[in-house]
Structure 1
Amino acid sequence: MVRESSGPPPALPGPQRLTVDLAVSEGPVLLGANGALYGLSDDGVPGDAVLAPLKLTSVSQKPEGGAQHPNGDALTVSRSFLRNGGGEIYVMMQDTYARWPYEDLGIDDYLTRADRIVREVSAAPDAGRFVFIPFNEPDQIWYHLDVADQARYEIDRDRFLRDWRTVYRRIRAIAPDARIAGPNEAAFHTRLLTDFLAFARREDVLPQVMTWHELDSASLRDFQAHHDEYRAIERELGIPPLTVNIDEYGCRRDLSVPGQLVQWVAMFERNKVYANQAYWDAAGDLSGNVVRTNLPNGGWWFFRWYAGLTGDTVAVTPPRPHTVDTLQGLASLDPARRQAQVLLGGSPGDADVVVRHVEEAGISGFGRTVTATVAETAWSGYEGAHPTPRVLARTTLRVAADGSVTVPLRGLRAMSAYRIVLTPAGSGTPDVPAVPWSASYEAEDAAVTGGVVRTLGTVSDANGYAASGTKDVASLNTPASKVDFTVTVPADGTYDMAVLYGNESGAPATQLLSVDGGAPVTVTYPSTQNSSHRARKELRVELPAGVHVLTLAKGDAEVTLDRIDLTARGGPASAVYEATLSDIGGNPAFDYSSSAGTGTGALVLGTGDRAVFDVYAPRDGYFTVVARASAPVELALHGASVTAEPGRPLRLYLAAGNNRVTVTAGHASLRSLDVSGDGSDTGVLSCGAASATLSGGAELIASAYAADGSCVAGIGGSPAAKAEFTVDVAIPGRHLLVVHYAHDDRRDNGHAYNTDIVSRTADITAGAAAPVRVTFKNTWSRDDYWTLAVPVDLGRGGNTVTFANPDGPAPYIARIELGRIIG
């Protein structure tokens, strides 16, 4: 049984110690804990560029046409899941029903539905990639198997076991090779699992995958005992070890929060089980780790790091094993790449990471010195974009006489995760990373007028939304409402200011920002799912050195404030992407003879080799990209390619969010891709809604929040309802078509915590190409305009770009932009 969890443990005096033992292997990296329940909502939501890097091993979705949710159909989303390297799709068969908890119409009704589900999946070309889950949370739904009364339990148990056998055999009668998972309890129950496994073994209806849920903060303490007890039951019954998938894990406060996620992932990876993050709010965002369609947040970057682990995981001893909200971690060792990586987080303060047996780890050429590269991914909210994680330190460390290396980490933040990469040290000195001055200020610690401080996302409120410092300021809804932040900055200059906020007004909402009581400026916040579902608004302020009061006062609607961050701005944003930490193909060599630059050596590419980088862009636009290579290399992105001369800058058009850039070469030593800029629109072709030629009922309507005050409505619903833009292209080739769109379609399924958002689609015809169907995710309100980038090929001179949808409504379109990818 899940026990109540107490509050977070008291802080330890002095630096905490997390020990990594490279000599103790736990087996090959599984990457099993990166899955999500309803992580995908449509083919294209989330986008391919954020799916592919995570190497997802499993997702759980509803059967095609199931009534439980308005989207997330398994066969539909399998197209994007599988083309991006996904593993297995678990089909939640009871999600055919509309109500929650599921309406119980009897086993005969369910069998009729199950027959259809299995036949449809079996007819799919990738049928072998699906796993059937016949029952969901039977301990609570239909069978009530979590009752204390033993006599009542045995009656309900026997009914469940009979129905399990019936449905299992029905599935196998239709699909003899089908893989089946269960019993899929809402929580771990020793009594039921023992009875279930004994019955299933005796009746020859054992699941191929054992599933249950871990949905309480106490799971961070208790899962290891649950897992060990389950394996003991298997042994006692003579059952060979089954694959385990904890197909729902985590609370609302955990999702999107790197420091929380690392605690969960560490224990699942250590035990080599699969696990899918829970669904609490909206489908299509990988359980809160993808913003909009293609924007990574802090949680996404943590899972990107996780996907980058290679070789074997090795033993990690945290300061407090199996303890809720404490420093935890996982680590890997890849002798072939000569890399060790450590992911850690979950606790504030200082820590020493001690890596043992460095010289005995079988890494040829590791030597007596190593380079340690330390980076941080912070919490940016469920809907707040997070740039490329900042490198905090690059240092050369000498291996101690006992074969260990100690990496000191100071000032850890509880909601952040950290990555340490150890590589052999070569000649030269790694570049010292430029870490700008930065400070954070909690809203609850500021001077609050006409607002209410709330506490949420604590251990005792685990299904409350995460909040920085577990508090925020809400109910800023009176004319006098304001929050005064007293800040201190070290020097005169420009500062990037980020506001963590919530806006459930149903439209963009404003506040008034003033500095030291000066003239206010309007800050506009896009909509969020609700007042607690955090997003991140970025702006800039000019501040002289010293103490200031930054005031955010009520504007036209209520906005919840959580925290502000101030960061000194030293120029355009920039990031360095290390080649030896990229995704690779072929058999490139890892060269650590020099530690200059990134400190992580170089990747030697030959014919047939490739390196794939995940490059972040804060907005759609042109950026400067430099390949640090010994010889020319080929860069490919969005279907375009260009030769990059060593050290010579290229001007490339990137989509807002993640961009996958592939580098190949006949022979070149590649150290990094360096990317800088804020997203220039110079040379971008732009067409507002008013320039479109409309037909079939499509019309131009006023829209206060569109860039030019209007948008095109009424596209789709019939073959004739179209919008056609004409653009004149000076240089032919591959372009990114950036569509500024909005819509807020919802389909009420009556689910207790389903936001019911659905996507719209449009068939886009660009130039002479065939139409391409593109999915546009819901923007949370009719007045919030997002962008979606679509690669298109255009010829020289006049080209038309047409939007249509004979099957249903397309989104409202305010503007299109076209940038040639190779600028």
Structure 2
Amino acid sequence: MAGTLPAADPAAAADPQRLTVDLAASEGPVMRGANGALYGLSDDGVPSDAALEPLKITSISQKPEGGAQHPNGDALTVSKSFFRNGGGEINVMMQDIYAKWPYEDLGIDDYLPKVDKIVKEVSADLNSDRFIYIPFNEPDQIWYKLGVSDQAQYEANRDRFFKDWKTVYQRIRAIDPDAKIAGPNEAAYHTRLLTDFLTFAQRENVLPQVMTWHELGSGSLRDFQAHYDDYRAIERRLGIAPLKINIDEYANRRDLSVPGQLVQWVSMFERNKVYANQAYWDAAGNMDGNVVRSNIPNGGWWFFRWYAGLTGDTVKVTPPQANTIDTLQGLASLDTERRQAQVLLGGSAGDSDVVVRNVARNLFGRTVTATVAEAAWSGYEGQHATPRVLARTKLTVAADGTVTVPLRGMHKMSAYRIVLTPGGSGTPSAATALWSASYEAEDAAITGGQVYTQGTVGNANGYAASGTKDVGSLNTASSKVDFTVTVPETGTYDLAILYGNQSGAPATQQLSIDGGEPVTVSYPSTENWTYRAKKDVTVRLAAGTHVLTLAKGDAEVTLDRIDLTARTGEPSASYEATLADISGRPSYDYSSSAGVGTGALVLRSGDKAVFDVYAPRDAYYTVVPRSSAAVQLTLHGETVTAAPGRPLRLYLVAGNNRIATTAQNASVRSLDVSGAGSTTGTLSYEGASATLAGGARLVDSAHASAGSYIGWLGNSPESTAEFTVDAPRPGRYLLVVHYAHNDRRDNGHAYNTDIMSRTADITVGADAPRRVTFKNTWSWDDYWTLGVPVDLKQGANRVTFGNASAWAPDIDRIEVGRIVG
């Protein structure tokens, strides 16, 4: 991880890049417009509420209900979870009613009845005012071929498109007079077409309410500002009031999930106050590569969580090289009420000085506390714990109102957050310095494998890889990769392996240290060899140099990089109250910077702070509120009173947990969470213990925890699996289901992987059944977990799984843990 504040070696800080932030140059209120996604949601519950709500999504793009383009992601279906989690607007991609890509061209007469059906369904929804109709998708390439160079052919194609645009526009408005319509939705920016389109649409009174086009190449990082400026100039020439803009597809595969790439895109969209949705290149339901499984954050998720946490106004940021591909970029905000400034930056390796100007003393005082954290790249399917605080330091504001925050040893694929708050009295707690080192697979000694290049500027739609290379074709009996590593001290180290596994089942490698007895490392399936995931294991190493060997086991695995990090104690994280999501009107107290350093949040009756707490697995953790008085914590529907500094044992699900905090009158500094995850006190029931009916049956499997799972469950009212759960006392519990399934539909797309979710109705005792969605696990033999809050009575409880109309997932086992342990 990057070392910061100050540089460990003065020579390492020679000629650092400079990124300048001017707190006095407001760009207007933070919009958070660039956090959207095309097919970011696939089903109600995928992604989970806990993964979706913190991102404060302003817009998403989805297909119309029943659209044949993909098997899920229907706009009305996903709107339920989107709106209940604070989502903004939904773009309805109307042509996704068709099955083929590019869309089958059956003529406008075939399309119009489909338009009627879509608009009638959407306009009847209670939230119809939050949907935007996009009648055409990439007409410059599909149906109309508007990008042709021959002027006469262009004009003929253009006129046909304009005629159809007017027809469809008026058809929509005839059914839904208040409809918001977006377009023309080109695959790329075309000044010729947009000039003609706006001229026509203004004359014929069919102007869109939202202007849309796509920015899908690496060159967009260089060219978008010129596109935006040109478009606004066209509006001015034609006397058209500025339209809302949504770049409803942006970025390539190599950008998605990568914090350092995403910050480049988001900074230019937020600076220009446009909305933008990440492109859909792979599978639906993971916010375009930023949510692992259904509820687990990766590095990209944490970047967008930081983006969602910006408040107040954005302010001017001057990067070292504006509008230049793959360079250091950033965005920043100032909230005068909260007395916070935040800077998000990334996209370049090496050293940087972040110079913050006009740090007003009437807001911040004579000193500020600078807190620096890193969101690293963990892969598309790789879990990322709470971003580690790299530095927490009190700095003096210079006489000219300037504060300089040095960052040293930055990683190109990482994003960084700097938070400035008033310094107050006292000394902030220094950040824990953990030794860490990374080793690229392509630089190791390779036997029986091949180095591949991935995700470069020239191959922007290739998948991201650390250092743009990985090692694949490790498919012979002798295939192995030998990493030579050097560690400073004898002790326990966390070993993170970035990998890919397209074998169709869990795959293994043999891990050995210095040729010693190997241990088996098992890798869950991934979408493909390059859709990167992360496997965490623990190794014991003596001080000095070692050779860590990963040799082929039962199947091929692709290796990208390994990270070694010293473990100095049990994992822990402090979640700072002044950076939590709030409701009500809590006040911010920066009188002391002692401790975690960003001050305290004062909660009174009616105030609430919500913390996003990461857990590596479904288990119990120690949670301690650092507060001046008792607070109430609410988790998974259970509320418990917590005394100041008193540890609580709470059951957290794997991934993100939203913990709400309220109080009558308490000053809260942080919520501290520690532990590797304990399952002591949980109840576990294997599939073999369930009573099966109606065709559901046990199926032998070497990958199931006890050698069998419940299969053929559902698809009729009689097919059920009933567990008897013996609860030691009544109360709120987490029911954790270990499941697998690999339903998918291959409709011939060149790139989208149309995985499908399954659902199960879960019934506890005589309660009404609850429908729960289970995301595809990439193979029939990989078991994921999904936590469902349930209320149990003391003693025996019947917990029944079924699905009367479709197949439920295969169930390996269930675990049950009381939320307050």
For normalisation by structure 1, the TM-score amounts to 0.98
Residue 748 of structure 1: CA displacement?
A: 2.1
Structure 1 counterpart SS, 2:206 = coil
What are the within-5 Å matches in structure 2 for residues 657-736 of structure 1?
657-736=655-734
1:263 aligns with 2:264: yes
Residues 397-436 of structure 1, C-alpha deviations (whole Å, 9 max, x = no match): 0001111000000000000000000000111111111121
Distance across 2 between alignment mates of 1:578 and 1:435: 19
Q: Deviations over 1:303-354 (max 9, x none)?
A: 0000000000000000000000000000000000000000000000000000
Q: Aligned residue for 1:527?
A: 525
Name the residue aligned to 1:332: 333
Question: Could you tell me which residue of structure 2 aligns to residue 152 of structure 1?
Answer: 153
Quick one: which amino acid aligns to residue 56 of structure 2?
Answer: K
Q: Is the 8 A contact 1:313 1:331 kept in 2?
A: yes
Indicate the SS of the match to 2:117. helix
**Residue in 2 that maps onto 1:5:** none
Identity of matched residues, %: 76
Partner of 2:745: 747
Question: Map of 1:768-779 to 2, 5 A cutoff?
Answer: 768-779=766-777
User: 1:658 corresponds to which letter in structure 2?
Assistant: N
CA distance in 2, matches of 1:136, 1:205: 17
| Matched residue, 1:436 | 434
Structure 1 match to 2:182: 181
Name the counterpart of 1:236. 237
- 1:359 CA drift (Å): 1.7
Q: Is the 8 A contact 1:737 1:791 kept in 2?
A: yes
Q: Secondary structure at the match of 2:771?
A: strand
* Whole-angstrom distance in 2 between the partners of 1:566 and 1:404: 37
Deviation string 1:699-726 (CA, Å, 9 cap, x unpaired) is: 0111111111110011111111000000
Structure 2 CA distance, aligned partners of 1:734 and 1:589? 32
Q: Which residue of 1 aligns with 2:38?
A: 37
Could you say which residue in structure 2 is the equivalent of 1:141?
Answer: 142
Work out the CA distance in 2 between the residues paired with 1:661 and 1:435.
Answer: 27
Q: 2:757, 2:776 within 8 Å by CA — same for their partners in 1?
A: yes
1:88 and 2:89 aligned = yes
The equivalent of 1:316 in structure 2 is 317
1:626-659 superposed Cα distances (whole Å, 9 cap, x missing partner) = 0000000000010001001000100000000000
- List per-residue Cα deviations over 1:445-471 (Å, max 9, x = no partner): 000111110111110010000000000
Shift in Å, 1:571: 1.7
Note if contact 2:280-2:752 (Cα within 8 Å) is conserved in structure 1: no
Bigger drift between 574-583 and 426-435 goes to 426-435
Matched-pair contact (CA < 8 Å) for 1:208–1:243: yes
User: CA–CA distance in 2 between the matches of 1:86 and 1:191?
Assistant: 34
Q: In the aligned structure 2, how far is the partner of 1:752 from the partner of 1:103?
A: 15
1:604 correspondence with 2:602: yes
Aligned to 2:368: 370
Distance 1:766 1:787, change over 3 A: same
Number of equivalenced pairs? 810
- Distance (Å, rounded) in 2 between the aligned partners of 1:509 and 1:488: 28
2:646 equivalent in structure 1? 648
Query: Partners in 1 of 2:365 and 2:536 — Cα distance?
Result: 44
Instruction: Output aligned runs, 1:298-447, within 5 Å.
Output: 298-359=299-360, 364-447=362-445
Paired residue type of 1:642:
V
TM-fit CA distance, 1:767 = 3.1
Task: Report the AA paired with residue 578 of structure 1.
Answer: E
C-alpha separation in 2, matches of 1:384 and 1:115: 42
| In structure 2, distance between residues paired with 1:685 and 1:508 | 26
Distance (Å, rounded) in 2 between the aligned partners of 1:806 and 1:532: 37
Please give the alpha-carbon distance, in whole angstroms, between the structure 2 residues aligned to 1:413 and 1:768.
54
Question: 1:767–1:795: 8 Å Cα contact kept in structure 2?
Answer: no
1:365, CA displacement in angstroms?
A: 4.2
Q: Find the counterpart in structure 2 of residue 65 from structure 1.
A: 66
- Aligned residue in 2 for 1:8: none
SS in 2 for 1:433: coil
Is 1:486–2:484 an aligned residue pair?
yes
Partner of 2:512: 514
Distance in 1 of aligned mates of 2:764 and 2:56: 31
Change (3 A) 1:764 1:494: same
Residue type of the alignment partner of 1:732 = P
Does 1:124 pair with 2:125? yes
What is the match of residue 446 of structure 2? Answer: 448
Residue 588 of structure 2, aligned match among 583, 586, 590: 590
Q: Which runs of structure 2 are paired with 1:6-21 in the superposition (5 Å)?
A: 14-21=15-22
**How far has the Cα of 1:25 moved from its partner?**
0.1
In the TM superposition, what is the alpha-carbon distance from 1:440 to its structure 2 partner? 0.2
SS in 1 for 2:699: strand
Does 2:786 align with 1:788? yes
Q: Give unpaired runs (5+ residues) of structure 2.
A: 1-11
Structure 1 unaligned segments of length 5 or more: list them: 1-10
Q: Aligned equivalents of 1:339 and 1:819: distance in 2? A: 39
Quote the Cα distance in structure 1 between the aligned partners of 2:32 and 2:765: 42
Whether the aligned pair in 2 keeps the contact of 1:631 and 1:645 (CA below 8 Å) is yes
Contact 2:44 2:78 in 1 (8 A): yes
**Residue in structure 2 matched with residue 197 of structure 1 by the alignment:** 198
1:738 is the counterpart of 2:736: yes
In structure 2, distance between residues paired with 1:704 and 1:43: 32
Matches of 2:752 and 2:609, distance apart in 1: 40
In structure 1, the residue matched to 2:614 is 616
> In 2, distance between residues paired with 1:86 and 1:402?
41
Amino acid at match of 2:421: T
CA distance in 1, matches of 2:679, 2:701: 23
CA contact (8 A) 1:295 1:658 kept: yes
Aligned AA (2:609) = A
Q: Is the 8 A contact 1:724 1:800 kept in 2?
A: yes
Counterpart-to-counterpart distance in 2, 1:745 and 1:665: 46
| Alpha-carbon distance between aligned partners in 1 of 2:432 and 2:405, rounded to the nearest angstrom | 19
SS of the equivalent of 2:432 reads coil
1:56 alignment partner AA: I
1:251 matched residue in structure 2: 252
Question: What does 1:794-813 align with in structure 2 at a 5 Å threshold?
Answer: 794-813=792-811
What residue number does 1:545 align with?
543
After superposition, the Cα gap between the structure-2 partners of 1:13 and 1:252, relative to the gap in structure 1 and judged at 3 Å, is: farther
What's the secondary structure of 1:376's corresponding residue?
Answer: strand
Shift in Å, 1:80: 0.4
The one-letter amino acid paired with 1:36 is A
CA distance in 1, matches of 2:766, 2:663: 32
1:13, distance to aligned residue in structure 2 (A)? 6.7
Maintained 8 Å contact 1:67/1:749: no
AA aligned opposite 2:562: I
Paired residues of 1:68 and 1:751 also in contact (CA < 8 A): no
| Offset at residue 769 of structure 1 (A) | 2.3
Which residue identity is paired with 2:33?
G
- Contact conserved, 2:765 with 2:798, CA < 8 A, in 1? yes
What's the RMSD between the two structures over aligned residues? 0.9
- In 2, Cα distance between equivalents of 1:704 and 1:807: 29
Residue 769 of structure 1 contacts residue 793 of structure 1 at CA under 8 Å; is this kept in 2? no
How far off is 1:297 after superposition? 0.3
For residues 426 and 35 of structure 1, what CA distance do their matches in structure 2 show?
A: 38
Q: Can you list the C-alpha shifts for 1:31-78, whole angstroms capped at 9, x where unaligned?
A: 000000000000110000000000000000000000101110000000
Q: Secondary structure at the match of 2:310?
A: coil
Q: How far, CA to CA, are the matches of 1:660 and 1:805 in structure 2?
A: 29
One-letter code of the match for 1:409?
L
Please give the secondary structure, in 2, of the residue aligned with 1:315: strand
Q: What is the rounded CA distance, in whole Å, between the counterparts of 2:348 and 2:220 in structure 1?
A: 17
